[in-house]
């Protein structure tokens, strides 16, 4: 096994991020996920002092399906993860993986120097890039 010296998060992240308002319904969120073939959406901030949220398919499974609740009557903000872990785009993936593992997370929002979202990164993306087959 050989390890690459330095790979930034921005080199392996998914640049295609899709957002949704916290007040949107879970049904609206599922429509966006289906349309774009993604399993998570970034929940928009409500102001400059607010933080981003994240809605994953797992959240829908846990809070809506498993609890037999109506997706039409639930808002995204009721089941989203907030605040979401954010990682600098130029962070070394070795440290990004350590951070996610420490908090038992599978993905993080990637932000630029102005805290604007530029992508999403998963442990899977980073591990597969880091480790040679």
Q: What's the pLDDT tens digit per position in 12-62?
A: 999 999 999 999 999 999 999 999 999 999 999 998 899 999 999 999 999
Fold of 9-130: CBS-domain (3.10.580)
Domain limits of the chain? 9-130
Inter-residue contact 107 to 40 (CB < 8 Å): yes
Task: Provide the whole-model pTM.
Answer: 0.87
Mean pLDDT for 1-21 is: 86
For residue 63, what is the DSSP state?
Answer: I
């Amino acid at each position: 096994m050989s390890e690459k010296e330095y790979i930034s998060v921005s080199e392996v992240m998914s640049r295609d991020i899709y957002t949704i308002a916290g007040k949107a319904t879970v049904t609206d969120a599922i429509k966006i996920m289906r349309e774009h073939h993604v399993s998570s959406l970034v929940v928009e901030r409500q102001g400059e002092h607010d933080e981003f949220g994240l809605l994953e398919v797992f959240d829908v499974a846990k809070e809506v399906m498993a609890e037999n609740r109506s997706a039409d009557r639930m808002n995204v903000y009721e089941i989203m993860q907030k605040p979401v872990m954010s990682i600098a785009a130029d962070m070394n993936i070795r440290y990004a993986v350590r951070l996610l593992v420490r908090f038992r997370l599978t993905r993080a929002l990637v932000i630029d120097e102005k805290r604007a979202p530029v992508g999403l990164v998963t442990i899977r993306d980073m591990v597969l890039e880091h480790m040679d087959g």
